[in-house]
Structure 1
Amino acid sequence: MNWGNKKTLSLLALSLNTSAATLKQHIHCRTLVKVRLKWAKNKTLDNIIDTHTDLKAAYLLKNAIVRSSAGYITSKSISDWQKLLGLTIPTLRFIRRYPTLFQEFAHPKYPSLPCFRLTEIAANLHDQEVKILEAHEAVLVERLCKVLMMTRNKIVPFEALYPLKWDLGLPDDFDRGLVFKYSDCFRVVKDANGGSCLELVKWNEDFAVSVLQKRYENVEGGENEFRKFRRGQSSMAFPLRFPKGYGGQTKVKEWMEEFQKLAYISPYEDPTGIHMSSDLMEKRIVGLLHEFLSLTEHKMTKRNYLGSLRGELYLPERFTRIYTRYPGIFYLSMKCKTTTVAIREGYCRGKLVEPSPLAKLRGKFYHAMRTGLMYQKKGVHMLPQLAGLSSRGCEDNNGKEGEKDEMWEDCNADASSESEEEFDGDILDVFGDGSL
C-alpha cells in the first residue's frame, strides 16, 4: 500500500472519529419512556381563555375607534368583523353588550345607521394604556428583539407579527412608531415576494438569556447551575404542573426525569447542529415554546400564530404535538372555536402569577366590560362604580396595587382552584412512532 492510500485511510479514520463524536454530542437516540396520556380539560384556564376572547375583541374595537379620523365606527363597517375578532356572535350584538365602553348614537347624515364612539371611561383607560406603553417602552423593545433573536435569520414578516400585537403587548402602531424610533435595533426589509419584514439590526447578548435561565440565576444556589449552563453542563428542569393524577404515575415520572436530565438548549442558540428527530431537539423545541409563551402578556397565544412562525423558529412540521406530549408544561384549549396554548406555570388559581402593568390595566378594562353587562340588567346605579376605575392609574398613591388591579379577580371568582376533567376518548401517545 502506497503512502497516498495510508494518508487517505488516516484522514478517513479521523473524519469518522470526529463525526462519531459530533453525533454522540448532538444526536440522542429516542430512549425516553413511551407514555400514553389522556388529554385533561382545565375548566379554570378555559374560563380565562373564554374571557380573553371577549376582552381582546373589545380592545380591537377600541383601537379601531381610536384610529378612525371621525372618532367613531359605524355598524356597517364592523358587520363583517366577527371572524376577524374571533367572536361567536355578530359584532353589532357584541358591541351593544358593553355600553360602559361604547356609546351608541345615530349617524349625523344617516339617522338609521347606528354608530359607536368611546365613552369617557374607555377613553380614560386608553390614555392610561398609552402612558404605560410609553413608560415600559424599553421592555417592549427587548421583547421584540428577543422574538427576532429566536428566529433562523433574525427576520420576521410583519404579517406574522400583526396577529401577535395583543399577546406581546405591542402598541397598535408599533410598525410605524416603535420600529422607526429604535432604528439601532430594527429595520424594515423586503422578502423575495416583496412583503415587508422586520429585521434585527444588532445582536444584544444581554437579551439572549431565557426566562428559565434567569430563574436559575436568581434562586439560591442557582448561580452555580447557571455557570454550568454557560459551560454546556447543566440540564435545567422545567417547572411542572401536571393535571390531577398524572404526576404520580410511575411511567410519567420516569419519562419526565429522563427528559429533564437532557441538556438545556437556549432558544437563542443556533440549533442547526442538532438532529431534527433527536431527544435533544425535542427539549430545544419545548424550551423555545416555553420562552415564547413566557414573553407574552398573558402567557398564552393561539396555536396558528406560532404555526405561522414555524419556518423562522426552525420548528418541524408537526411541532404542535409537543403541547399534548408535555401536559405538565403546556395546556391546549379548544375554547371559542380556536386552539389556544398556554404555559401552566403562568397561572395559579385562576390568576396570572406575575401580572405586568399592562395586564393589570386590561383587568380594569374587563371590569368595565363586566359592569356594562350588569348595567344593562340593573340600571344606571351601577355606573358610579367605574368612576374610580377610570380616574386612577395602575397603582394608588402609596404604590400599592388597588383592589381591582388583580387581573382575573372578578372574572374567576367562581374558579378558586384549578379543576381538571379527563377525556377518555382522546388518548395521546406521547412519543408514538418517535417522530415529531
Structure 2
Amino acid sequence: MMFRQRRSFSDVVSFVAHFHPFVHIQKRNLVNVKLKWVKDTVLDPVVSHSLQLKATCTLVSLLGSNPDFSLPIYCLARYRGQLGLPPDLKVSTFIRRYPNIFQEFYRPDSRGTPVPWYKLTPEVLEIYTQEMRLVYEDCYVDILNRLQKLLMLTKERLLPLQAIDQLRWDLGLPYDYENKLVAKRPELFAFVKLPHERVGLKLLVWDDCLAVSHLESRNLKLAQKNVELAFPIGFPRGFGLKRKCMEWLHEWQKLPYTSPYVDASHLDPRTDVSEKRIVGVFHDLLNLTILRKLERKNVSNLRGPLAMPQKFTKVFERHPGIFYISKKGGTQTVVLREAYYRGELIEKHPLADIWEKYVSMMEEGFLDRSRGLYKKEGMESSFDGKRSVYECESETESDCNLLSEYESDEISKEL
C-alpha cells in the first residue's frame, strides 16, 4: 500500500539520491548564461610576448638539435606551423630581428645559388645548453609526468603525435621528444599505428599517484571530506557582473567536482555538473603547461581524444573568471587567470626562468638592431673566381622538395 502513494518528483529524486548521489547532481540542466568578453590589458601583453618567445624557442631547438647548430632557411621554413607566426611574416624576417640569437651566413645550393643559413650564437648556445640540462636532468621526471598526465586525461590514454606536437613547447617537451624521451621509456609508452597513416603515442601504465588534479592537490583536506571543490575566480577591472550571473556562478561552484581522471560517462552533457567537469579537465590541462596557457585551436583539436561534447570550448567564454581568451597575434589564446598576478606567473617552473633569458636576449637584439648596432653586411661568396655580394630573400630551394612535415596548425577531424 505504501508504494501506491503518489510522490512528487523532488521527493523521488531525494529518495534515489540518498543511495545514488550522482543521480541527484544531474537533475539541474545547463543554465543559459552569457557573460561578456572584456579585454584584459594585463594578460594581453603576456600572450603577445609568449607568441614570439615560442617561435624563438622552437627555432633554437631546431638549430640546437643539429650537429653543427645550423640549418638553411628552407629547412627552418618547413616548421612554420609550429612557430605560430602571423601568415604575412616570413620566417627569415622574424629570424633577422634577433641577430644576437641567430647568426646569418650563406652557402651555395646545388645550383650554386647562395642560400641563407642560420646558426646559434655562442651566447644563446650557452642558454640552450642550460635548458637541455634542465629537461634531461633536473626536471626530467617532472616533464615526463606532464606527458603521462596529458595522456591520462584522454579516454584511451592515446594521442596522435601531431596533437602532442602542437602542445610540445607549452608542456616543456624537448624537440624530438619521440626519440630522446619516449623511446627510452618502453615500459611507459608505445607508438601505435592510427588510421590515415598516422602514428599515436599510448600510455601503457596508469599511475594512481598522478591521477590527482591540480585542484584536488591544492584542496586535499576538502577532497578527502568529499566537500565540493570550487575554482579560484577573478575578474579584471571593468568587468560588470550582473546579479543573476553572480547567483548562478555561486550555485555552480557548489556543484560536485568530478576529477578529470575518472570515468565521467554517466554525466549528462546537458547539465551544469558536466560543464564543471569540462572546466576541470581544462583547468588541469592548462596547469600542465609551463606558462598556464594554450592556443584555443590546439585545445579544440582534442575534442575526440578527451571525449568532449560539441562546442565544449564554450566553457572558456562562460567562465571568464577562470579563463581569459586573448585575441593577440591573430589567434585566440586561453590563459588560466589564477596563475598570474599583475602579469607575472605566481609559480614559475625552472624552464620559465630559462625562457626569460631568451626574452632578455630578444629585447636586447631587437633594440640594438633598430638602433643600427647590427649593420646589414653583404654576404660575400666566391663563385667562378669572382667575388659577389648576394642578398637572398627566398625561403625555398628550387630543386628541393619543400613539402612541410607540419603543414597545418589544424588536426584532421579523425582525431
The answer to whether the 8 Å contact 2:65/2:175 transfers is: no
Runs of 4+ residues deviating >6 angstroms = 17-20
The one-letter code of the counterpart of 1:95 is I
Q: Distance in 1 between matches of 2:329 and 2:192?
A: 35
The one-letter code of the counterpart of 2:47 is I
The CA deviation string for residues 343-374 of structure 1, in whole angstroms up to 9 with x for no partner, is 10111111111110001100111111110012
**Equivalent runs, 1:73-92 vs 2, <5 Å:** 73-78=71-76, 82=80, 84-88=82-86, 89-92=89-92
Q: Distance in 2 between matches of 1:76 and 1:157?
A: 26
- Deviation for aligned residue 1:45: 1.4
Change (3 A) 1:246 1:258: farther
Q: Distance in 2 between matches of 1:71 and 1:21?
A: 61
**Equivalent runs, 1:217-366 vs 2, <5 Å:** 217=220, 223=221, 225-229=222-226, 234-246=227-239, 249-366=242-359
Q: Distance in 2 between matches of 1:102 and 1:111?
A: 21
Q: What is the DSSP-based 3-state SS (H/G/I as helix, E as strand, rest coil) of the residue aligned with 2:118?
A: strand
Q: What is the DSSP-based 3-state SS (H/G/I as helix, E as strand, rest coil) of the residue aligned with 1:203?
A: coil
The answer to whether the 8 Å contact 1:151/1:313 transfers is: yes
Pick from 138, 147, 150: which aligns with 2:150? 147
Instruction: Identify the residue that residue 129 of structure 2 maps to in structure 1.
Output: 127
1:195 is aligned to 2:198: yes
The CA deviation string for residues 221-267 of structure 1, in whole angstroms up to 9 with x for no partner, is xx2x12123xxxx2100000123344764223211111000000000
The one-letter code of the counterpart of 1:29 is R
Pick from 42, 47, 60: which aligns with 2:45? 47
Q: TM-score under structure 1 normalisation? A: 0.76
Instruction: Identify the residue that residue 24 of structure 2 maps to in structure 1.
Output: 25
Change (3 A) 1:158 1:369: same
Q: Distance in 2 between matches of 1:95 and 1:325?
A: 38
The answer to whether the 8 Å contact 2:38/2:238 transfers is: no
- Deviation for aligned residue 1:108: 5.9
Change (3 A) 1:158 1:77: closer
- Deviation for aligned residue 1:214: 0.9
The answer to whether the 8 Å contact 2:108/2:114 transfers is: no
Change (3 A) 1:287 1:93: same
Q: Distance in 2 between matches of 1:174 and 1:282?
A: 33
Unpaired segments of 5 or more residues in structure 2?
1-14, 375-415
Change (3 A) 1:188 1:18: farther
Q: Distance in 2 between matches of 1:151 and 1:268?
A: 9
The answer to whether the 8 Å contact 1:302/1:341 transfers is: yes
- Deviation for aligned residue 1:163: 1.0
- Deviation for aligned residue 1:24: 2.6
Q: What is the DSSP-based 3-state SS (H/G/I as helix, E as strand, rest coil) of the residue aligned with 2:307?
A: coil
Q: What is the DSSP-based 3-state SS (H/G/I as helix, E as strand, rest coil) of the residue aligned with 2:279?
A: helix
The CA deviation string for residues 39-95 of structure 1, in whole angstroms up to 9 with x for no partner, is 101122111111111111111211222233553222344456655522232211111
The answer to whether the 8 Å contact 1:191/1:197 transfers is: yes
**% identical equivalent positions:** 35
Instruction: Identify the residue that residue 96 of structure 1 maps to in structure 2.
Output: 96
Pick from 203, 208, 211: which aligns with 1:208? 211
The CA deviation string for residues 258-310 of structure 1, in whole angstroms up to 9 with x for no partner, is 10000000000101111121111110000101110011000001111111211
